[in-house]
Structure 1
Amino acid sequence: MANDSTPDPGDSPPPYTQYVDLELTIDSGDVHTDGRIDVNLESKIAKSLAQIADKEQEELVKPPPEDIQAQITETVPCDVKLNIVIQIVGSRGDVQPFIALGNALQTHGHRVRIATHDVFADFVRDSFLEFFPIGGDPAQLMAYMVKNPGLIPQLKTLRDGEIKRKKIMVAEMLGGCWRSCIEDDPVSGEPFVADAIIANPPSFAHVHCAQALGIPVHLMFTMPWSSTRAFPHPLANLSSTSMNDDTANWVSYGIVEWLTWQGLGEVINKWRSSIDLAPVPTTEGPCLAEALEIPFTYCWSPALVPRPWDWPAYIDVCGFFFQEPSPYTPSPELAEFLESGPPPVYIGFGSIVVDNPEKLVDNVLKAVEMAGVRAIVSQGWSQLAGRPDTNVFYIGDCPHTWLFQHVAAVVHHGGAGTTACGLLNGRPTTIIPFFGDQPFWGDMVAKAGAGPSPIPYASLDPETLASAIQFCLMPEAAAAAGEISLKMQAESGVTAAVNSFHRNLPLDRMRCSIIPNQVPVWIYKKGKRPLYLSRTAASVLIKHDRIDATHIKCYPVNPIIIENRRWDPLTGVLSAATSTGTNMLQSTGEMFYNPYKEFKRSRAKPSEGPSTSTSISRSGPSNDGASQSSSQSATTQRPDPFETAGNMAGATLQGFGKFSATYFRGVIVDIPHAAAEGFRRAPQLYGEKPKDYGTVQDWKSGIKVGGKNFVGGMSSGVADIIKHPIKGAIEGGREGALRGLARGGMGMATKMPSAGIGLMAYPFHGISKSIEGAFRTKTPKAIVAARLREGSAFTSRLELSQEDEEEILQVFEVLLSSMG
């Protein structure tokens, strides 16, 4: 892994606008060093999101709680065995729950690969799971996150250039996540191609990897990431506003997503281009997972935070993920300390890296003395160590599952895993949050009565910490923590999460035509009906020359299509025109700047040809009669003016070509398509659901969608002007007829223009996608090669008998004869 902690001193800070839209950031939210974002609910974005929230509120139907609970606890059979990659970015506490999940998935016959930071290789492999390194330094990432929650940069960080270094790390992790989906095991060399992805949201690559492979993706997290009216985003501080609390909570999620995308969108789109995916439109990047309805499982106990009622059925709250504790024998020194007095208080901050660990440990020791307690202090990643004290024991790595059984209370940073472990053991908890979801968990613990209000790290002092410790030692706090513990012990978070994963798989599309309990990865077409082939079926058929490997294509089990949605014709056309104008302006700049770069490059080019020399010699008599001389020679190389001029002209033409292509694409494709889509979707503005005519993926589907939209739009537009007035008159008399006439007129005024414009716009949009797809072949070819390699290795491991292969061939022949 490249170390980006020591940048070239000559590097200048990156342009601010390259990484974050300052106007958007200043208008919608302000990022603080305490890991929180002040969300401006009076900003334009917030008010726009509030309108969407109010509209969705009318359509929400609250499901019965017992139905949701039955769904979560219901066992879902899954006889299809998958290659599952679990992508995780974060600390050891983020990785640990997925170790438990991975082991549980293995018991169902799945092959599981954990893809995370290199430092966790032994941790993963010691748990009998496959490991793949994605790069990135979690210690640096945690230190950065303390200052920049959610990777949203502050202006100071931008000026310091630190965001540039962290974006390099994010780009490295994105590339590592993609390789984890298709590359061989780095130790054994065993081929691997993912059939499904499980990921935590900060890995960021999940949806995009799934799109490239056409496979299911399932997000799991310990922190609320899905919009809800129940509580605000864990990173958000809400300003006072006339907006009602429920709407404000929902809006906070959209604001945080917008800010995050502003910080990382460029990096993600650049990486998408490297794996042959089109850029995600600016309007679609935020809240992409919600727009695509990606299944989500939250790994916390509903006993602590109940599932919000407004979450859709594909979002579950399953309980914390716990591993079976391994046997642990404490050191003699630790055992002696525990036995030498009353149960101590645990104080530790895990993977948090602080700038001044000496000050932190000094505050801790003073608080312990003031509270009159004994303490076990975890050194953690900040390497906390203070003066010797008979009432304080410093500890290194020790499993919390064992240690928390022997303490009276716990004080920590509020990581979800540490919080869960403390409450599972019925220990009152004080949380000192630094960033991320930590303030959220502090608030939830305090709300449950199992601890005091959280103490932000920035305001930590010995008096406040001592008071919090004394609160935890009160009988009321112990009783509240004990009640939560009883409920948590009745839950099985890992089992529920496995059921959630299985329930959300598209199993109806995940069965091979020949071997039904294997997932299909190939599609073979001969005749009208296609055959869906697993890696084993395809390998056997290729081995016996029943099919040619060039006649099969990768089968997208779960195709993901990211469309630039247009909500109305005006904003749609303006957005497309603005995007076209911006690209044209950039191309214009390149027309002038690129030739200048060529000129500068030619001037800096090293000498390669004949040179003109000047020599100056001085000589004089020496003692031995020989001449003594010294010479100075300077060599210069004049650049070839014709070559330089040619390169400059070529750069100008290249910029002009890009300018022309951008102009014609905008005028012929993007703007008409935006207008057609805007008019098609406009009926939703007055409560009518627009008709869906399919998605455009190539020129064929473009013609198909254009034709359907023309017929449907024209017929529906004419029908509206007749249907709505009649219906209105029946329901409301003369006034109803007038309202119906207005609505029918709106329908005609939107649907018929969409039909007319779309007749050309959709086919041209499809043609442009086909042309772009023709140049994006590197990654599809790599996927095909990886699947063939992995299929051959998988079939070899099965050690099929001759009878097994004969059965596969016979079933193939039967199916082939029925295809016509």
Structure 2
Amino acid sequence: MDKASEASSETASSPSVGHASAYYHSAFQNQSNIEYSLVDDNASVIPHYDGIEVVPDDSSTNFDHEAPPAYHQLTIADGGISAEVMQNGRVSMLINSSMRIPEQVSPFESQHNFSTLHSPTYSQSEYPLLHIVMHVVGSRGDVQPFIALGKELQRSGHKVRLATHNIFESFVRESGLDFFPIGGDPEQLMAYMVNNPGIIPKFASLRDGEIARKRKMILEMLEGCWRSCIEPDPKTNRPFVAEAIIANPPSFAHLHCAQALGIPVHLMFTMPWTPTREFPHPLANIVKTSMADVETSNFLSYGLVELMTWQGLVDIINMWRKDSLSLEPIRAMMGAGLADYLQLPFTYCWSPSLVRTPADWPSNIDVCGFFFRDPPDFTPPVELEEFLKSGPTPIYIGFGSIVMNNPQMMTEIILCAVNEAGVRAIVSKGWSKLGNGYSDPNVLFIDDCPHEWLFQQVSAVVHHGGAGTTACGLRNSRPTAIVPFFGDQFFWGEQVAAAGAGPRPIDYKSLDSANLIAAIHKLLEPQTLLAAQRIALSMEKESGVQEAVKSFHRHLPMKKMQCDILPRQPAVWQYQLDNKQELKLSDEAAFILMEQKQLKMKNIKLYSSNKIEIEYKRWDPLSAGSSTLIDTIMDLTSDGKNLFTAPYKEIKKAQALRREDSANSHTDMNEVALRGGSTDARKETTRRHTGAAAAAGAAGKGLGKMGGGFAKGMLLDLPVAMADGFHAMPMLYGDKKIERGAITDWKSGMAVGGKSLAVGFFDGFTGIVTAPAKGAVKDGAAGFAKGFVTGTLGVLFKPGAAMLGFVGYPLLGVYKSISSLHATPTETKILLARQILGSETGRQISEQRDGEKIQSVLEGFRRATGR
């Protein structure tokens, strides 16, 4: 196995929420008996589930902050696939399966037709100017590339808001971007990640309450990301509503916020997040004794890591989706792969000269180069200038935002290695405050200093391997040694070593003065410098940020987003004309037309430029029906629990109010006696009646919710799931899956149901003749026999799909139509935010009184309506 195949890490950009990756679970569709068990004897036992959907979904708001992710070990017994989280945070994987991914077919094309995904290229004057929110979770090194991206988006005419941790507010605002705080403490998160570098936390972290704090922080950041999409600037109170989202994957809120708003989302990241046969997931350590071929092992590693990650987040995300976004919960096996399932555009910000673009990635994925910001103005302090002039060119050593348990030991290792290697060094104190209380004439400990300037003053760099720091060092032709702590730091260390620009990475737990001295000597070798210079020459030809903006524009659903009258403005309103034609309008166009009395208010509603529909994947009717029944039972269990707890809470609330009234009462006893206590008695009686009524109301509401959940589960969800299972059944015996269209309302439900009935019966009964004939033409007698079996099975299963689809799909359409008649709390919030922003736009138009623009809008309206 080559070096790239052995690379293993965790994502440095995701210290707060664990790790995630793109997925590919259809490779597991023929596997069974997935077992999960805890390795830690001190932890509680996790039950084993038989089948692919191993964790029943629970969308209850009463999730357990203390609960760890679901397992330490994963085993797919029939497939010979196992995964275990090691102490250093890497996922050890043993893949003994004989399965192979066909060479002639891209793994993605086997599930999706990505050949149709090529997006047109638009000129600079065609894309609409958008309100863009960027969700970024991580350290300063993760935020900085998105500042560079945001500045370039601003130059393109967009309004950009960067939503990240509160601590980075001045960093973001000083760059000229709008800022929105999402919460979360990156310093605490970094300390957590150093102590728990893997997907699964140590038992000590459970005991000390770290998991509870981390899960609460995740929920805080999810909510912060959502508020960043619709709330005004907290400082200026200027209104804002997102019209597109750009995010790094570990922010996790991006897709769900986009679904609630009906807007595009574009993911950008610094490490591989998409399955490929060319190298494994950076968190995966594939055991070399695996019997599967290297390409298959590489490819499956992404799905395994994603599956293990999602289990620890499903309850929090579903609770947040339900309470804050008014969205249906994501079922267990869907959440791990939504980015792939929805074919989200993805832009990777690394240099192809360091890691080439995998040949099996589809066209919705771009690799554009590292994101570099404009070099900041910097005047070095006198102490730093004097140190640089006082001797030979030093090396740089620093670990940035890493928070270490023992910075004194690290300081002593650095001082010993520098003196033994006979070099001088500039050491960044970082968040761990290296060098406190130490002094050495050959070493200068410094505070924050721009790497763009500093790396030009040194001969080589030693650091933790963050993507941005790695990129900056290589861009300046500096040989690089990486001491990884977690995340993609291991991956970048391996890539730098493979390119010859530095030694193999040294895990920080293994670092000592001896191996640091050896690394320094390797950095100072002439061939190491030559390799770094070659990479720098290639990187000089790249324009990562500019290419990323082009990628963002290229993947926008442009025609859906443009206002029909003012194409450079985004469509946010939908207006239905008298002839039932629908017109897409921007805030500005809608305001002018309303002011000119051209629109009827009853015909205007919010417009979604990118509706996201999540249809659950089914493999067969048996698993589809059983998983739906499990989901229904779990929902009923949760509702049943609330049936008893909600009335109790109402009674306790009434009791608290009575105690408050009693505590606040300072009425003189004589006065009470004169009144005969009648007022207090009436108040007490009212409180009791109110509490009893509230408790009864809560019980009735809970009972109604249980009844509605049972009816929906058995009369709607079950037949739809069974129909989808029967439609997917042909894939199991080598036939083509029966595809059904999207169902958005009662009309599409009736159409899909009718098509299901007609196509199912027709294909089922004609297939007994056509399938053998086609097989004979293609493969002779063997093809005829195979076709006969396929046709016979089609007679058995396809009419079932037809009947169930004819019943279930129209019901699903009716349900969606009825649901759309009533605005959810989230839709009400979005509408209010949109109206506030529209009012601000209208005020600006009124102040400008641009007669030429008004006439242009009226003329465009006449052309669009044919008046």
Identify the TM-score tier after normalising by the shorter chain.
Answer: 0.7 to 0.9
Q: Please tell me whether residue 132 in structure 1 is matched to residue 184 in structure 2.
A: no
Code of the aligned partner of 1:520:
A
Contact conserved, 2:757 with 2:805, CA < 8 A, in 1? yes
Structure 2 CA distance, aligned partners of 1:174 and 1:394?
37
Structure 2 CA distance, aligned partners of 1:155 and 1:573?
37
Code of the aligned partner of 2:635:
N
Code of the aligned partner of 2:840:
A
Structure 2 CA distance, aligned partners of 1:408 and 1:524?
63
> What are the equivalent positions in structure 2 for 1:402-413 lying under 5 Å apart?
402-413=453-464
Secondary structure of 1:22 counterpart: coil
| CA shift digits 1:262-321 (9 cap, x unpaired) | 111211111111121111121110021111110001010111110111111111111101
> What are the equivalent positions in structure 2 for 1:465-480 lying under 5 Å apart?
465-480=516-531
Distance of aligned partners of 1:404 and 1:609 in 2 relative to their CA distance in 1, 3 Å threshold: closer
> What are the equivalent positions in structure 2 for 1:28-177 lying under 5 Å apart?
29-41=83-95, 54=101, 58-59=105-106, 77-79=124-126, 80-149=128-197, 152-177=200-225
Secondary structure of 1:430 counterpart: strand
Code of the aligned partner of 2:174:
D
Contact conserved, 1:31 with 1:154, CA < 8 A, in 2? no
TM-score normalized by the length of structure 2: 0.82
Find the counterpart in structure 1 of residue 283 from structure 2: 235
Find the counterpart in structure 1 of residue 585 from structure 2: 533
Distance of aligned partners of 1:338 and 1:785 in 2 relative to their CA distance in 1, 3 Å threshold: same
1:719 shift after superposition: 2.8
Contact conserved, 2:479 with 2:528, CA < 8 A, in 1? yes
Structure 2 CA distance, aligned partners of 1:585 and 1:357?
49
Structure 2 CA distance, aligned partners of 1:379 and 1:82?
40
> What are the equivalent positions in structure 2 for 1:730-745 lying under 5 Å apart?
730-745=777-792
Distance of aligned partners of 1:414 and 1:605 in 2 relative to their CA distance in 1, 3 Å threshold: same
Find the counterpart in structure 1 of residue 560 from structure 2: 509
In structure 1, which of residues 203, 221, 224 is the aligned counterpart of residue 251 of structure 2? 203
1:814 shift after superposition: 3.5
Structure 1 CA distance, aligned partners of 2:558 and 2:603?
25
Contact conserved, 1:696 with 1:705, CA < 8 A, in 2? yes
Structure 2 CA distance, aligned partners of 1:173 and 1:203?
8
Which has the larger displacement, 236-245 or 174-183? Answer: 236-245
Q: Please tell me whether residue 456 in structure 1 is matched to residue 507 in structure 2.
A: yes
Contact conserved, 1:434 with 1:457, CA < 8 A, in 2? yes
Structure 2 CA distance, aligned partners of 1:463 and 1:421?
27
Secondary structure of 1:452 counterpart: coil
Distance of aligned partners of 1:415 and 1:393 in 2 relative to their CA distance in 1, 3 Å threshold: same
Which has the larger displacement, 160-169 or 790-799? Answer: 790-799
Code of the aligned partner of 1:343:
T
Secondary structure of 1:764 counterpart: helix
1:471 shift after superposition: 1.0
Contact conserved, 1:297 with 1:317, CA < 8 A, in 2? yes
Code of the aligned partner of 2:574:
I
Structure 1 CA distance, aligned partners of 2:712 and 2:778?
48
Find the counterpart in structure 1 of residue 266 from structure 2: 218
Structure 1 CA distance, aligned partners of 2:184 and 2:748?
41
Q: Please tell me whether residue 706 in structure 1 is matched to residue 753 in structure 2.
A: yes
1:121 shift after superposition: 1.4
Structure 2 CA distance, aligned partners of 1:589 and 1:183?
34
1:772 shift after superposition: 4.7
Contact conserved, 2:85 with 2:199, CA < 8 A, in 1? no
Code of the aligned partner of 1:579:
D
1:35 shift after superposition: 3.4
Structure 2 CA distance, aligned partners of 1:732 and 1:512?
54
1:652 shift after superposition: 6.3
In structure 1, which of residues 308, 312, 318 is the aligned counterpart of residue 358 of structure 2? 308
1:748 shift after superposition: 2.9
Code of the aligned partner of 1:146:
V
Which has the larger displacement, 591-600 or 375-384? Answer: 591-600
Which has the larger displacement, 695-704 or 98-107? Answer: 695-704
Secondary structure of 2:291 counterpart: coil
1:204 shift after superposition: 0.8
Secondary structure of 1:197 counterpart: strand
Find the counterpart in structure 1 of residue 856 from structure 2: 807
> What are the equivalent positions in structure 2 for 1:615-630 lying under 5 Å apart?
none
1:54 shift after superposition: 2.8
Gaps of 5+ in 1: 5-12, 63-67, 612-636
In structure 2, which of residues 820, 832, 835 is the aligned counterpart of residue 785 of structure 1? 832
1:794 shift after superposition: 3.3
Find the counterpart in structure 2 of residue 621 from structure 1: none
| CA shift digits 1:16-38 (9 cap, x unpaired) | 99553237658854334533222
| CA shift digits 1:529-587 (9 cap, x unpaired) | 21111111111112222113442122111111112111222221221122223334444
1:468 shift after superposition: 0.8
Secondary structure of 1:179 counterpart: helix
In structure 2, which of residues 390, 393, 402 is the aligned counterpart of residue 352 of structure 1? 402
Structure 1 CA distance, aligned partners of 2:123 and 2:850?
31
Structure 1 CA distance, aligned partners of 2:313 and 2:777?
54
In structure 1, which of residues 422, 437, 447 is the aligned counterpart of residue 473 of structure 2? 422
Find the counterpart in structure 1 of residue 493 from structure 2: 442
1:158 shift after superposition: 2.9
In structure 2, which of residues 588, 598, 607 is the aligned counterpart of residue 555 of structure 1? 607
Contact conserved, 1:536 with 1:792, CA < 8 A, in 2? no
| CA shift digits 1:629-650 (9 cap, x unpaired) | xxxxxxxx99999999988877
Contact conserved, 2:87 with 2:198, CA < 8 A, in 1? no
Structure 1 CA distance, aligned partners of 2:819 and 2:119?
43
Highest RCO, 1 vs 2 (Cα 8 Å, sep ≥ 6): 2
> What are the equivalent positions in structure 2 for 1:367-766 lying under 5 Å apart?
367-386=417-436, 387-526=438-577, 527-589=579-641, 607=659, 656-766=703-813
1:651 shift after superposition: 6.6
Secondary structure of 2:333 counterpart: coil
| CA shift digits 1:217-260 (9 cap, x unpaired) | 11101111111111111122223422221111111111221122
Find the counterpart in structure 2 of residue 258 from structure 1: 307
1:775 shift after superposition: 5.7
Structure 1 CA distance, aligned partners of 2:105 and 2:422?
56
The percentage of counterpart residues that share the same residue type is 49
Code of the aligned partner of 2:858:
L
Distance of aligned partners of 1:365 and 1:278 in 2 relative to their CA distance in 1, 3 Å threshold: same
Contact conserved, 2:66 with 2:209, CA < 8 A, in 1? no
Structure 2 CA distance, aligned partners of 1:351 and 1:129?
22
Find the counterpart in structure 2 of residue 321 from structure 1: 371
Secondary structure of 1:95 counterpart: helix
Code of the aligned partner of 1:469:
I
Contact conserved, 1:513 with 1:531, CA < 8 A, in 2? yes
When the two chains are superposed, the root-mean-square deviation of aligned CA atoms in Å is 3.2
> What are the equivalent positions in structure 2 for 1:275-294 lying under 5 Å apart?
275-294=325-344
Structure 1 CA distance, aligned partners of 2:393 and 2:704?
75
Secondary structure of 2:313 counterpart: helix
Structure 2 CA distance, aligned partners of 1:286 and 1:429?
35
Contact conserved, 2:244 with 2:263, CA < 8 A, in 1? yes
TM-score normalized by the length of structure 1: 0.87
Count of residues paired in the alignment: 768
Contact conserved, 2:407 with 2:432, CA < 8 A, in 1? yes
Secondary structure of 2:530 counterpart: helix
Which has the larger displacement, 53-62 or 266-275? Answer: 53-62
Which has the larger displacement, 420-429 or 228-237? Answer: 228-237
Code of the aligned partner of 1:310:
D
Distance of aligned partners of 1:749 and 1:706 in 2 relative to their CA distance in 1, 3 Å threshold: same
1:97 shift after superposition: 0.8
| CA shift digits 1:603-629 (9 cap, x unpaired) | 989658999xxxxxxxxxxxxxxxxxx
Secondary structure of 1:405 counterpart: coil
Contact conserved, 1:348 with 1:377, CA < 8 A, in 2? yes
Which has the larger displacement, 244-253 or 90-99? Answer: 244-253
